[in-house]
Amino acid sequence: MQPSSHPQQNCCCRLEFPKKNGAQHHTTEGATMLRPALACCKLYISEARNAPALRAIECAAAGLHPAAVLVNAFADDAYNRVGYTLVSPLAYDGGDSAPPPLHRAAFSMVAAALEAVDFGSHAGAHPRLGVVDHIAFHPLAGAHLDDVAALTRAVAADIGDKLQVPTYLYGAAHGEGRTLASIRRQLGYFTPNSPGEQWRGAPDASSLPVAPDAGPATPSRSKGAVAIGATAWVDNYNVPVHTADVAAAKRIARAVSERGGGLRSVQAMGLAHGEGVTEVACNLLDPASVGAEQVSAEQGLAVGKGYFTDFSQERIVELYMQSAEAEASQQ
């Protein structure tokens, strides 16, 4: 993976980005401002090669700055995928009835992505449900999961109803706590639809095997569907594998994952990652208990140095507070 390399525009408000093998987890003591209860929204967009489209998506978020801050973007050309991280106070004291800034920023980015990206022409080595594949909300710095879940459901309803995208809830936002992995399996997410372990174009299905929680029952070929949920913090950690054999990477992924009898709270996929390269992509659902060190130790084959695709939650809070302090000093 490489950090986003498309040109920055003045309207965009990213602060800094982790480089491959360089996203370090740090904890910073203290702050010069009182930290509000914060929430984080991670949006995964099925596009990394179209610079104008990415600029449009990022500028949509900039309209809510400084109330909502885009603190990270991580682009992967082989996967043709970008992960964005937004942070905002969970409570909103704007004095009107508008949704909170994180709601509006996330919705604006989704709307911009649907306008700028055509799912039918998308191709990449990472599975995806639609133009906006996945949205995850996490509580930060004093926020509660129940509050984030309510925000998630409101955003999902708007995406489904106003943008007409089939929308699936998971985690605390779903009434029965459905997992992201389970809904993905039901929708055939993990099966490539093109040779070379690639996902290409929109699915041919005229209807969905599972009814969405919001939006139409028939997906648009230009938009696809989206999974959106609320959970405690998740680390995304990827490990390059020195083999062109995707099946070998998949065997490692299964052995590492909890579902395959490996490490508790670890989900993993083995994916192609460029010419002659593979990767084990992991979700660490409880990184305080099972983290990157344990995953790397379990790999088995000769592997490269693992790397995170986002900052730690402590660093993300720090970046938001730096932005808030800078804004306050200018007033």
What is the rounded distance in angstroms from the CA atom of residue 158 to the CA atom of residue 164? 9
3-state secondary structure of 328: helix
Contact 104, 64 (CB under 8 A): yes
Q: Is the peptide bond before 36 cis (omega within 30 degrees of 0)?
A: no
What is the rounded distance in angstroms from the CA atom of residue 239 to the CA atom of residue 280? 5
Distance between start and end Cα atoms, the chain: 39
What is the rounded distance in angstroms from the CA atom of residue 102 to the CA atom of residue 61? 9
Classify the C-alpha dihedral 186-296-270-225 as positive or negative: positive
Catalytic positions are 126
Cβ-count burial of 227 within 10 angstroms (0-12 exposed, 13-18 middle, 19+ buried)?
Answer: buried
Q: Which amino acid is at 122?
A: H
What is the rounded distance in angstroms from the CA atom of residue 128 to the CA atom of residue 224? 9
Non-local CB neighbours of 93 within 8 Å, separated by 6+ positions: none
Classify the C-alpha dihedral 264-81-193-110 as positive or negative: positive
Contact 41, 102 (CB under 8 A): yes
User: Would you tell me the crossing angle of helices 145-162 and 101-116 to the nearest 10 degrees?
Assistant: 40
